[in-house]
């Protein structure tokens, strides 16, 4: 199976400083490091592209996966992902 880089567009509301307040990003409870993803910060929109083999291996598993973004001063943001490899 080839791995297409999954990308999430996260809208952070009206706070263009949201990205600088992020303390951690995890996938199914596995804390990701900066080498696991790239970020395109466009102010109130932040695009996360997940690029590592660790992410690929996790998303290869069947079912719904949860990405959790923790940021100081915000409730945890969760994004549920169902990979479609077809």
**CATH number, residue 12:** 2.60.40
Nearest partner of 57 among 22, 7, 6, 8, judged by Cα: 6
Residue 2 is assigned to a structural domain of this protein? no
Q: What is the residue range of 70's domain?
A: 7-81
Note the pLDDT of residue 70.
92
Residue 4's pLDDT is 52
Q: What is the pLDDT along the chain (86 residues), one digit of tens a residue?
A: 334 555 666 666 667 777 788 899 999 999 999 888 887 777 667 777 888 888 888 888 888 999 898 989 888 888 888 876 66
Residue 64 placed within a domain: yes
Neighbours of 16 (CB within 10 A): 14
Q: What is the pLDDT of residue 24?
A: 93
Count of domains observed in the chain: 1
CA 69 to each of CA 1, 21, 55, 84: distance values in angstroms, whole numbers, following the listed order = 28, 10, 15, 22
Retrieve residue 43's tokens: 């102010």
pLDDT at position 3 is 43
In a domain, 1, yes or no: no
Residue located via tokens 């990003």: 25
């Amino acid at each position: 199976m080839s791995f297409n880089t999954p990308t999430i567009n996260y809208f952070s509301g009206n706070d263009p400083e949201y990205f600088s307040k992020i303390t951690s990003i995890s996938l199914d409870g596995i804390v990701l490091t900066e080498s696991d993803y790239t970020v395109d910060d466009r102010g109130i929109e932040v695009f996360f592209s997940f690029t590592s083999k660790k992410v690929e291996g996790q998303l290869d598993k069947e079912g719904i996966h949860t990405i959790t973004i923790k940021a100081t001063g915000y409730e945890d943001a969760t994004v549920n992902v169902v990979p479609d490899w077809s």
